[in-house]
Amino acid sequence: MRRRHSKGNNRINLPPEVQRVLNALREVKDPETDLNIVDEGLIYGLTIEDRTARIRGSAYIGIGKPM
């Protein structure tokens, strides 16, 4: 079963452990836009098993930019 997180009025009730991970990821900012990586849409999937979170996402590294 797949659940999608979206901004706006289409929010669904997520399990508390998923919400905790997403809230922590909202503290991670994209240095170029200063937006958090969740609201910027860089997180594509989140799976939690036992005490391990697996996150699928995207990263962009610009040419000539330091990492």
- pLDDT value at residue 64: 61
- When divided into structural domains, the chain yields a total of 1
Residue 2 near residue 15 (C-beta atoms within 8 A): no
Q: How confident is the model at residue 2 (pLDDT cuts 50, 70, 90)?
A: very low
Domain housing 45 = 15-57
pLDDT tens-digit map of 11-61: 678 899 999 999 999 999 988 889 999 999 999 999 999 989 999 998 766
- Would you say residue 63 lies in a domain? no
Can you give the pLDDT at residue 35? 94
DSSP for 1-59?
------SGGG-----HHHHHHHHHHTT-B-TTT--BTTTTT-EEEEEEETTEEEEEE--
Is 67 inside any structural domain?
no
Within-domain flag for 53? yes
Residue 5: closest CA among 57, 50, 49: 57
Q: Tokens 């990586």, residue? A: 37
pLDDT of residue 1: 40
